[in-house]
Amino acid sequence: MKLTFPHVLLAGLMVSTLSAAPAIGAETVKIGYIDPLSGAFANVGEAGLKQFQFVADDINKRKLAGDVKFEIVPFDNKVSPKESLNVLKNVIDQGIRIITQGNSSGVAGVLIDAINKHNERNPDKSILYLNYAAVDPDFTNSKCSFWHFRFDANSDMKMEAFTNYIAKDPKIKRVYLINQDYSFGHAVARAAKEYLARKRPDIKIVGDDLHPIGKVKDFAPYVAKIKASGADIVISGNWGNDIALLIKAAKDAGLEAPFYTYYGGGIGAMTAMGDAAEGKVKQITEWHANIHPNKTEKFANAFNAKYGGPPANISFYYLRVNNEMYMLANAIKEAKSTDPKAIALKLEGMKYEADTGEVEMRATDHQLIQPLYISTVAKAYHNPKDPKTAKFKGTDPEVKYDQEDSGYGFKTDARIEAYVTAQPTSCQMKRP
Amino acid sequence: MEFFLISMLNSVSYGLLLFMLSSGLTIIFSMMGVLNFAHASFYMLGAYFAYQISGWIGFWPALAIAPLLVGMVGMAVERYGLRTVHKYGHVAELLFTFGLAYLIEEAVHLIWGRSQVPYAVPPSLEGAAFTLFSTDYPIYRVFMMAVSVSMLIGIYLTLTRSRIGLVIQAALTHPQTVETLGHNVPRVFMMVFGGGSALAGLAGVIGGNAFVTEPGMAAAVGPIVFVVVVVGGMGSLAGAFLASLLIGIIQTFSVALDYSIVDLLAKLGITIGPDAPLAVVWNLTISQTGPVLPYLLMVLMLIFRPKGIMGTREG
Amino acid sequence: MNKLKYRPLNLGRWLVWGGTALVMIVLPLIFTSGFTLTLMSQIGVGIIFALSYNMLLGQGGMLSFGHAVYSGLGAYFTVHALNLITDGAFYFPVTLTPLIGGVAGAVFGVIFGYVTTKKSGTTFAMISLGIAELVAACSLMFSDFFGGEAGVSTNRVIGKAFLGITYGPSIQVYYLIVGWALICMMAMFAWTQTPLGRMANAVRDNPERAEFVGYDTHMVRFLTLVLAGFFAGIAGGLSCINYEIVTAENVGAYASAGVLIATFIGGAGFFFGPIIGIIVFFTMVTAVGGITQAWLFYLGLLFLLIVLYAPGGFASLIMMHVPVIKARLMRRLWLPYAATLATGMILLTGLISVVEMTYRFSTEAGTNPNMTLFGFAFKVTEGVPWAIAAGLLVGGFIVSRFAWNAVGRAWGDIIHILQEREAAA
């Protein structure tokens, strides 16, 4: 154990559950999970951590990475970019060479920057960064890095999928945009306007609202405005309470227009929206519990059986976490090495048969190209023969599972194939 | 016309909820001089208690019990916390409640977890109360307004007509005299603090399911409640009422105004190009800034009229 | 606040300053891990920030909820300056760039300060909160200057190495921070001895009387705030060099709340109080935060206990022993202190156990009930560990009350003796 100042202070006080020993054996690969584990967004970070641990256990049990075992080491970054840098130094100190992070593009940008600098200054101690949820398109365009791999579709790809779907519906003539006033919200609004103008020039953007993030308590005035504009649909990149409050206000005012959202099914959102979301909220994801065919069903059920109960009510959500970990295992097996550079070279261009079809880690920009699903909130199916569905009220057998024990699940509207979502990239990757 | 009427109703109902939140804070401040930073935390506790109780015995009992419980928590805080720091002055009291807000949030994390809880509007209050042109107006908002107004009347009657109200008013200005007359002034203060907390709790009971019940809800409404109290005039109940409505109206109607300074100047025949210095500022629309306008109002108010709308004293 | 007196330790002042400098310089040679260096760099920047905050709270009696506005804006101006220097727009040595932050902080101090310092007390607290909310909201709205969510990043390595100093390795940045911290500490200490510093004390303690004597209390507060803004800006500039990035959280409410909590825990009444506070604060955030989820709870509890029972902070707890040591009466305290320590440890063990077990229970009772605490492995769903933890908590509380009362009695005796001696003299 390395002697560090705070540990000396605390040694007598607490038995540390964290060992600071730099241990990277041939057997165990530690993966630093950097996400919020305390404070306001801790529930999101906690849900992600559980999924990583669950899939790591699966890989270890089935020896998918050969003799190498995975261990997920959680680090709390309090969703603060600065704190993430401190955490990164801690990770490096502990000899951990692979990190994964997802919440907040702000944090992701800082990490990419810091890892580039670190790897340049210490080529023999390079760090690999696997991004499972930060969707700023820049990370695989202007800011792309050899050390960064993104397993989620970026926000432009999701918008491409949404607008493809919207363009096919001739009844949609008027579109309203409402987003949070920061870089991600701006990116969503910009992409929506650009892509709709290209695919359906007849569609009119009847509103383009940007509101401060997390500051609006009452969305009723926005809903009144949407209503007055006569919009057919609303597109929103809002997340957290900003989406839940918006949907609730829309229901109260009897607004009929459906909401095309990025995070309408995000962690905690279903609980907060309750029945206000039914039939009205659409989301775009790489997976949801009621896709058909659903090869992940057994895995998700096993996960939910373990973590689904109260109080946390975590539902399996990120198929991309599985993709990330399985692909990492494959890369290690193929490279016969746990060195980040060797792994990265194998991950580049890797094709993988995921549960939803073939996915590819595009070598030019390290963006995973994968099929996406557009789905709508619906009542989960009440199967008279299955006592587990006793409190469900739906009649559509396709909606087999609910989310977060809310009684509501998602029903697929469309599957968007991987090649459709692929976007050209401006990335000029510097390889070591 | 439809938009105007609906927005007017929205602003009044939002303003009334703000008033429910701020009335407790105002009463505590005017009686005890304590600016309670943890006031919004009592609002949050009210929502969580109501969620828990309504899961057991239903919404209507929760409407009565939850605020009482919050009031008891408030009394305990006054008795075992505030009374101890009282001798160090108002700043220490402010700091105490500041720390308390942190602790309550962590306690909520501990007990109810870090996610939202499914605290829903009871079925009997769901649906539309009436339809104005084509927009539904929900029953629950009408219910919120009714509770808020009856609370306002209740406070007014208690303070002016009841015996305890008179004692409270007397204890405020002449604590020693009241004490000599045989009243227990510390206990009066404790009850005032408990009462104020209970009002916040009541706001939580009916605000928690109208919006979202989650551990961040206290931090989200906290600053805005301060704005109401400061703009209305520290310690003035009538001022808080006016300020709540004013802020409700500002926030609701500013959303509708997609105009920026550039548009305004364009009407006057002056054009500002996108390359002009500080172009971002001039292009900002009022609707974008809507939710921060209250803070601007507060700063301006403190600069030009520190007493607030109806306040009688400064600071 | 007015109960606390400032008494400079004239004896060995040089020793104290020299010792501080020595400790700051030598520490990284002992603790060599990068993580510790990060923590110490944070503490170095934090010391400047907290001391500048204490110019307001401790010396000027102004409770601010928005001090991060000045450090944050200072940091933003520094980061833009660094980027301009990199582009070759003008030349300025990196070593001195914190000054740019300082000037920016002072300028915003002038802009915001003139109106906010008209009143002290609650009005000042509220208006500082309002301004902090405004600036924080603007930081997300004007992404050209504030860089939006991603912030503005920079590279501190500019141009050729000067005497081998590039500021690439973090140890060089640490010594840059130490250098600035020492200069700022001395400057702020010197300020407390100037007429303005003394007037700030007077205005804090009795503004009416200060006004009668002929001083403009508004002006005194205003100048104090501008100076505090200047030093906060330097802290912001250093943090920008340290992290090579500035984001909206630099001006946010958490940064403002953090410095308030740290300063108060350390003790606003003494010059060195905030230094202790910052060390405790960052240890809580970084080290305790690395071990347990409940760090925020412990920090909040510590803050509340300080507010309730030791409003002078750690500094006052230390300083109240100085006369006792001088009077050679410490021996009366050792026994009660030892008893308090022993019983307090029981109480603390019980408290930590209950809190940690509750956290574990509430997050993963059903999935992972196994936990290890103080070397004991057990299941959080069993009754026995709970009974033991609760027993430690309650038992510790009861026995520590006895010890605490003994401390109180010993102190009563000491004060009595001191008073008698004073009367005799």
Answer yes or no: do C231 and C332 share one domain: no
Residue B102: list chain C partners with CB under 8 A. 296, 299-300, 303
pLDDT cut 70: percent of chain B above it: 96
Is the domain of C349 the same as that of C415?
Answer: yes
Token pair listed for C269 = 């009444």
- Chain mean position to CA C78: 22
pLDDT grade for C52, boundaries at 50, 70 and 90: very high
Contact B10 A272 (CB under 8 A): no
Least CA distance to C123: which residue of chain B? B315
Q: How far is CA C195 from the centre of its chain?
A: 26
Mean model confidence pLDDT for chain A: 87
Residue-wise pLDDT tens digits, B259-271: 777 777 777 777 7
Closest CA to C241 of C423, C85, C112, C54: C85
Q: What is the pLDDT of residue A11?
A: 39
pLDDT(B234) > 90? no
Selected residue of C127, C208, C285, C298 to mutate for chain B interface (largest B Cβ count, 10 A): C127
Architecture of the CATH domain B2-258: Orthogonal Bundle (1.10)
Q: Give the pLDDT band of residue A66 (cuts 50, 70, 90).
A: confident
**Across the interface, which of A17, A81, A90 has its CB nearest the CB of C247?**
A81
Q: Is the ipTM of this structure higher than 0.85? A: no
Counted domains in chain C: 2
pLDDT tens sequence across C62-95: 999 999 999 999 999 999 999 999 888 888 888 8
Q: Is B280 on the interface with C (CB under 8 A)?
A: yes
Number of Cβ atoms within 10 Å of the Cβ of A148: 24
User: How many Cβ pairs within 8 Å bridge chains A and B?
Assistant: 113
Strand partners, A233: A175
Which of residues C267, C284, C312 is at a domain's end?
C312
Q: Assess whether C71 and C195 both reside in one domain.
A: yes
Q: State what percent of residues in chain B have pLDDT above 90.
A: 24
A186 interface with B at CB cutoff 8 Å: no
User: By C-alpha distance, which of B239, B190, B216, B215 is closest to B18?
Assistant: B239
- Cα angle C102, C172, C43 (rounded to 5 degrees) comes to 60
What value does the mean pLDDT take over residues C325-349?
A: 88
Interface with A, mutate which of B17, B134, B212 (most A CBs under 10 A): B212
**Tokens found for residue B101:** 């807000």
Local structure of residue B291 (DSSP, 8 states)? G
Please tell me the class of the A156-285+397-416 domain: alpha beta
3-state SS assignment for residue A350 = coil
Cβ separation B6–A211 shorter than 8 A: no
Domain A5-12+20-153+320-369: give its CATH architecture: 3-Layer(aba) Sandwich (3.40)
Tell me what pLDDT residue A15 has.
Answer: 34
**Residue in A18, A186, A312 closest to C363 by CB:** A312
Based on the fold, state whether residues C283 and C350 are members of the same structural domain. Answer: no
C8 lies in some domain? no
- Nearest Cα to B107, choosing from C354, A401, C220? C354
C260 located within any domain: yes
Calculate helix-pair angle for C121-141, C97-116, nearest 10 degrees.
Answer: 130
Domain membership of residue C5 (yes or no) is no
Instruction: Answer yes or no: do A89 and C35 touch at CB < 8 A.
Output: yes
Quick check: C40 and A105 CB within 8 A? no
**C100: containing domain:** 13-312
Same fold, A5-12+20-153+320-369 and A156-285+397-416: yes
pLDDT reported for residue B123: 84
On whether any CB of chain C is under 8 Å from the CB of B288, the answer is yes
Over range A229-253, report the average pLDDT. Answer: 90
pLDDT of amino acid C367:
63
Of C289, C312, C335, the domain-final residue: C312
Give the model's pLDDT for residue C32.
Answer: 76
Tell me, what's the pLDDT at C119? 79
The interaxial angle of helices A105-121 and A81-93, nearest 10 deg, is 40
Judged by a CB distance cut-off of 8 A, whether residue C126 touches chain A is no
Q: Which of residues 270-309 of A touch C (CB under 8 A)?
A: 306-307, 309
Closest CA to C31 of C287, C277, C298, C288: C287
Q: CA-based angle B39:B43:B48, to the nearest 5?
A: 140
Model pLDDT for residues B134-193, shown as the tens digit of each residue: 778 888 889 999 999 998 899 888 888 888 888 887 876 777 888 888 888 888 889 889
The ranges assigned to domains in chain A are: 5-12+20-153+320-369, 156-285+397-416
- C-beta of residue C105 within 8 angstroms of C-beta of residue C233: yes
Sign of CA pseudo-dihedral A162, A163, A165, A170: positive
* pLDDT attached to residue C136: 86
Q: Is residue C6 part of a domain?
A: no
Pick the range with the lowest mean pLDDT from A48-57, A407-416, C12-21. C12-21
Residue A222, chain B, CB below 8 Å: the answer is yes
Q: How far apart are CA C366 and CA C349, in angstroms?
A: 25
- Same domain? For C275 and C414 the reply is no
For chain A, helix (H) and strand (E) counts, in that order, are: 13, 15
**B83: closest CA of chain C, how far (Å):** 10
Which residues does chain B have within 8 Å of residue A43's beta carbon, measured at their own beta carbons? 113-115
Question: Is any Cβ of chain B less than 8 angstroms from the Cβ of C112?
Answer: no
Q: Does C368 touch chain A (CB under 8 A)?
A: no
- Chains in touch with A (3+ beta-carbon pairs under 8 Å) read B, C
In chain C, which residue's Cα lies nearest the Cα of A305? Answer: C367
Cis ω on the peptide bond leading into residue A201 (within 30° of 0)? Answer: no
Boundary (domain end) residue, out of C312, C341, C364: C312
**Closest to B32 (Cα-Cα) out of B43, B20, B24:** B24
Q: Torsions phi, psi of A17, nearest 5?
A: -90, -10
- Answer yes or no: do C36 and A5 touch at CB < 8 A: yes
What pLDDT is stored for residue C180 in this prediction?
A: 95
| Three-state SS at C376 | strand
